[in-house]
Amino acid sequence: MRIVHLTPGTGNFYCGSCLRDNTLVKALRARGHDVLMVPLYLPVVTDEPAASADTPIFLGGLNVYLEQKLP
């Protein structure tokens, strides 16, 4: 099965949700699924290697903010 797991990312701080998402993606891969973890706004920061290491950020947080604030 091919799965895309979208996660918001954390920037430069640790976040329980990102740790959970990273662990979930690794567990699904260990069970044989083809899983791609895509950070939406910021890079994922965890204690272990991120499951999204080669995946670019989908929506840059700064770009999204500027698009909403500037016409």
Per-residue pLDDT reduced to its tens digit, 7-26: 877 767 677 777 888 889 99
What confidence tens digit (pLDDT) does each residue in 15-64 have? 777 788 888 999 999 999 999 888 877 777 777 766 666 776 666 677 77
Do 7 and 39 touch, CB atoms closer than 8 A?
yes
Q: What are phi and psi of 39, to 5 degrees?
A: -75, 135
* Contact present, 40 and 58 (Cβ < 8 Å): yes
Please tell me the pTM assigned to this model.
Answer: 0.66
**Is pLDDT of 1 > 90?**
no
